[in-house]
Amino acid sequence: MKTGIMGGTFDPIHYGHLLAAEEARINLGIDRLIFVPTGDPAYKRKITPAEDRYAMTLLATAGVLEYSVSRIEIDRKEETHTIDTLREFIKSGIKPEDLYFITGLDAMLSITSWFDYKKIPDLCTLVTARRPGYPVSGIETLPDFIKDKLKYIEIPQFAISSTEIRERSRDGRGIRFLVPHLVEIYIESNKLYKSK
Ligand code: ATP
Ligand code: MG
């Protein structure tokens, strides 16, 4: 049984995330996909509270048999690192050869700055997909022990980011068809991205 993990801030989750995760699932024959919203990171801009981001991730994935959402990073008290999340999934009984960690290429290219990144390829296969608006290449600059565990997949290009969705929502430009309908309703009813 192959498990894919898609991490992200998901502020909010959008069709770019869902498409990337689903394409990875189909390409690699992954049986189940777990979305892992990050906890509230100290270093990033002030982000929407984890519980709202978690709720939207649930709404976006509800009803898809192969999908689930994990609170592993949200509930962690300490600062959250990918390596710890992978270790916890391994501890829960998933074998490293059955674990896939999925990110966009922009995120993957920063892997050498992640905490304890050298141990990451021992715990999973890395899966990455091109993201519109970012360079297509850069993989060749990664160390060999990363490249050996890295699978690059081509996916339909959907040029959208959470940043753009927040801006559109704030400016009243509309976000329909960029995020799942229930996520759109959640954002609007809670006025998530209206400046306070
Ligand atoms: P923000 O603009 O707030 O940084 P984001 O859209 O980049 O948000 P994240 O939650 O930061 O979303 O990204 C989570 C993961 O999803 C990253 O690995 C990123 O590369 C990937 N990703 C985000 N948008 C897309 C997209 N449109 N196509 C493919 N991958 C994407
Ligand atoms: Mg991002």
Q: Tens of pLDDT along 23-70? A: 999 999 999 999 999 998 666 667 899 999 999 999 999 999 999 999
DSSP, collapsed to helix, strand or coil, labels residue 32 as: strand
Closest ligand to residue 166's CA: 1
As for ligand 1, residues whose beta carbon falls within 6 Å of it are: 8-11, 16-17, 20, 103-104, 106-107, 129, 131, 158, 160-163
Please state, in angstroms and rounded to a whole number, the distance separating the CA atoms of residues 138 and 52: 34
Centroid of ligand 1 to alpha carbon of 110 (angstroms): 13
In the chain the domains, ranked by start, together with CATH numbers, are 3-158 (3.40.50.620)
Closest CA to 120 of 149, 77, 79, 89: 149
Centroid of ligand 1 to alpha carbon of 23 (angstroms): 15
Closest residue by Cα to atom 29, ligand 1, is 131
Average pLDDT score over residue span 88-98: 98
Q: Read off the pTM.
A: 0.95
Closest CA to 119 of 80, 94, 147, 145: 145
pLDDT for residue 6? 98
Both tokens of 12, joined, read 């909010």
* Residue where the block lists tokens 């290009």: 157
